[in-house]
Amino acid sequence: MKILANDGMATSGVIALEAAGFSVNLTKVPQDQLINYINEHQIDMLLVRSATTARKELIDACPSLKLIGRGGVGMDNIDVEYARNKGIKVINTPDASSHSVAELVFAHLFGMARFLHDSNRNMPLEGDTKFDVLKKAYAGGKELTGKTIGILGFGRIGQATAKIALGNRMKVMAYDPYIKETDLTLKFFDGQKVTFNIKTVSKEEVLKNADFISLHVPKQKEYVISTDEFNMMKNGVSIVNAARGGVINENALIEAIESGKVASAAMDVFENEPKPPIQLLMHPNLSLTPHIGAATKEAQARIGEELAIQIIEHFNKK
């Protein structure tokens, strides 16, 4: 059976699939040529990450497809129910990238707390001529330890973020309309374990009390954070969005930063990818990455291996 991994696949996943008798094609086909390519090569399975979409038009036009796989958690780039109604198996890898995204959240949080995002821009330009000026400018950093992190969306990635926060001795407040409470177990290098019971609270309570806020929610019809939500927050709050572009009103975010309500914000995802607006890209209070939450070698290996296991198990049942 033929598999097109259109957004790439880790070598370990490819090896596992080929050992099981599948043919894996790593060609990167442009979206507007994808239907023709799938039909011409009689592709049985399409594997995507975030770059490629599998919408109704493609599903209807490609009768050879038996499975669509998403390397990652969210599947908003696939018409999932429509595909399943057409008899196509749809899979994803909800666990594989959680820790990688959570680590990126804290990379941004630690960086913003000590102005690293701005210092790394200015030191190469002015470090030799304005060292003392920059030293003074970046001297008012703050520690994360002992502060409150608010997590909006307490699924796998939100919980992975909470574990890192707990390890850093932060107070965790979480909101999720579908989760009332959960036990989080921190496992240490020497085999010790500590379990914390986290009860979720209202969104308003999180917004009013958090020193740092991290979003882990799917894309929705309305903004999750806009002007009203910013007004509820503490003055000087810091925010990270490594979830989906469009869950934060970016114009309202800039206004909140300019007013001093928000001290700094980090964004890994944007409403208008791959062309974020210049006012975001150039703002000194923004820490930015180009949608790399799951882009670690370890996560990509886990994603490839999880996809391979699911594919092999699915077709072995037949």
Confidence of residue 185 (pLDDT cuts 50, 70, 90): very high
Averaged over 189-207, what is the pLDDT? 98
Q: Which CATH class is domain 2-96+297-316?
A: alpha beta
Q: For residue 91, is pLDDT > 80?
A: yes
Nearest of 74, 55, 76 to residue 65 by alpha carbon: 55
Annotation says 244 is catalytic: yes
- Integer Cα distance of 159 and 185 in angstroms: 10
For the residues 244-259, what does the mean pLDDT come to? Answer: 97
Task: Respond yes or no: is residue 229 known to be catalytic.
Answer: no
Q: What is the pLDDT of residues 25-71, one digit of tens each?
A: 999 999 999 999 999 999 999 999 988 999 999 999 999 999 999 99
Structure tokens belonging to residue 106: 């804290």
Query: In the CATH scheme, what is the homologous superfamily, with its name and number, of domain 98-288?
Result: NAD(P)-binding Rossmann-like Domain (3.40.50.720)
Active-site residue, selected from the candidate residues 57, 126, 143, 273 = 273
| 100 Cα distance to chain centroid | 9
74 has pLDDT over 90: no
Spell out a b/e string for 290-310, using b for 16 or more CB atoms within 10 Å of the CB, else e: ebebbbbeebbebbbbbbbbb
Residue among 108, 117, 244, 302 flagged as catalytic: 244
Region 152-168: mean pLDDT is: 97
Residue 316 pLDDT more than 90? no
pTM comes to 0.90
* Residue ranges matching CATH 3.40.50.720 in the chain: 2-96+297-316, 98-288
Among the listed residues 182, 136, 180, 137, the one whose alpha carbon sits nearest the alpha carbon of residue 162: 182
Q: One of 156, 216, 291, 302 is an active-site residue; which one?
A: 291
Q: Kindly state the average pLDDT of the residues 233-257.
A: 97
Q: What is the pLDDT of residue 163?
A: 98
Q: How does the average pLDDT of the chain come out, rounded? A: 96
> What local confidence, expressed as pLDDT, does residue 95 receive?
86
Output the pLDDT for position 87.
97
* pLDDT, position 143: 98
> Does residue 318 carry a pLDDT above 70?
no
DSSP annotation of 221: S
pLDDT of residue 59: 98
291 is catalytic: yes
pLDDT at 291: 94
- 271 vs 250: CA distance, rounded Å: 8
Quick one: angle between helices 297-316 and 98-113, nearest 10?
160
